[in-house]
Amino acid sequence: MVNTRPDEISSIILGQIEQYDQEVKVFNTGTVLQVGDGIARIHGLDGVMAGELVEFEDGTVGTALNLESDNAGAVSTGDGLATQEGSSVKATGKIAQIPVSDAYLGRVVNAPAQPIDGKGRTAASESRLIESPAPGTISRRSVYEPMQTGLIAIDSTIPIGRGQRELVIGDRQTGKTAVATDTIPNQRGQNAIRVHVAIGQKASSVAQVVNTSEERGAMEYTIVVAETANSPATSQYPAPYTGAASAEYSMYRKQHALIIYDDLSKQAQAHRQMSLLPRRPPGREAYPGDVLHSHSRPLERAAKLSSQLGEGSMTALPIVETQAGDVPAYIPTNVISITDGQIFLSADLSNAGVRPAINVGISVSRAGSAAQIKAMKQVAGKLKLELAQFAELEASAQSASDLDKATRNQLARGQRLRELPKQSQPAPLSVEEQVATTHAGVSGCLDVLDIGQVQGFLVQLREYLITNKPDFAEITRPTKTFTERAEIPLKEAIKEHTESFLLLQKQI
């Protein structure tokens, strides 16, 4: 038996008292009153914030959506099947955020930024709120730096600048996703990253985007955020905000980010579903009153930052699907009002085999020539005007029986100019190739060709320039201007190639 002296006991007790650290943990908890369709009504979550993350008893995470006087409505980010009435809910005090890192490049993730490509977890030391304020007026500068897409139809007539928001709109199966993804290979080596947000798309379509990106070597600077058609509305809705947060991470690190929202029509439908289930008041076409705000929040975050912030940029290409060409519908007009222009893809052109099926006449870029390389500005000034005049003349000429020679010549020129923007997929063109192609059209060099010969002629002309007149590219590429010195070898190349091409056609 060990004898313990009283002074030893008192010293032990004193030591314990000195080491005692009083810590009070306060949890904001509530109880589930009703649950169904991924929506839970919770009583007792006093002081919960709008958009705050809440944790259910089964470990499922939700977001507080409706804040009413006696209860809060929360949407579950999981299937919510294990959540039951009477179970407890705990407020986390956190707004939704995602991990961000360069390690996410080349990966496919879901809305909470968890990898879903089977390549394991990704380490990230930083995180960003998925909802963050857009850069203010002082933090921005005017859009001035061109974002070359490699597509003549866009770069010559509807130029896009870094930091711009350009809507891609059209009916289904008109090539909207293809136009957006065809801009990707041209971003290589330009300190640029790309975020492709797939909302409510078929899993096979997302897989095709990933496979195509890997084949083109673009996946190494790409992040794909995918919430497919079988994902619940509560997962599809935050996907654009996750993509915007990932792109912002690069923008504030002096990089250039290109984000594609494919497409915002599906996100609006998910938002409508999320709002109708908690019995929020419906508005036009049953969409909630804040559906415009849900689109403006991610799109307004696109910006060209000021010199003080490093001149990083985030360029947004939102995609909206129309029904039977109904552009004045609710969602298309909302997004048009937010963006800096639109690229309209026509079902008629698509059915006629025109690729890309861009209707140049009604497409517009509000950045205009400020976001265009000087060389393109010099040669493409007349192109859009002539195409618009041709479309108008073509419509009126159908009812005219007798046309004068000048009108016939203008129609013939327009038919050949309409062949210029046609490109195979994917075949992005360099600046000098676009300048040469556009100049050949607007200068009338294609007038001597049959319409069916134009595409073959232009492809061979670009090859002829590379092999026989390399000085044209050497003059144009560094300065991005079309000078008289550059015009001389181009005119020589067009003349020589036209003679050999026509001679070959006669022999055939």
Strand, coil or helix: 485: helix
Q: Which residue, 407, 417, 356, 367, is CA-closest to 387?
A: 417
Neighbours of 500 (CB within 10 A): 12
Greatest distance between any 2 Cα atoms in the chain: 126
Length of the chain: 508
E strand segments, 267-351 = 303-304, 313-321, 341-345
E-strand ranges in 79-209 read 88-95, 97-100, 108-109, 126-129, 167-170, 192-199
Phi, psi for residue 431 in degrees, rounded to 5 = -60, -45
Distance between CA atoms of residues 459 and 456, nearest Å: 5
Q: Output the six-digit token pair for 477.
A: 């590429």
In DSSP terms, 65 is beta-bridged to none
State the binding site for ATP: 170-177
Enter the tokens of residue 208. Answer: 């095709």
Token pair 């002296």 is found at 5
CA angle 359, 181, 143 (to 5 degrees): 75
Preceding amide of 356 cis, omega within 30? yes
Residue keyed to tokens 């993509």: 243
33 φ, ψ (degrees, to nearest 5):
-90, -40
Residues annotated as catalytic (active site), given as ranges = 366
Residue 426 CA to residue 215 CA, distance in Å, equals: 11
Which residues does the annotation place in the binding site? 170-177
Distance CA 225, CA 243 (A): 6
The tokens for 258 are: 């290109």
Residue 444 zone, left/alpha/beta (φ > 0; ψ -120 to 50; rest): left
- Show Cβ contacts of residue 292 under 8 Å, excluding neighbours closer than 6 positions: 334, 337, 338
Positive or negative CA dihedral for 231, 235, 240, 246?
negative
Side chain identity, residue 201: Q
Is 360:374 a contact under the CB 8 Å cutoff?
Answer: no
| Cβ–Cβ under 8 Å, residues 138 and 306 | yes
Instruction: Provide the b/e sequence for 190-229 (b: ≥16 CB within 10 Å).
Output: eebbbbbbbbbbeeeebeebbebbeebebbebbbbbbbbe
Separation of alpha carbons 319 and 321, rounded Å: 7
d(CA 439, CA 235): 48
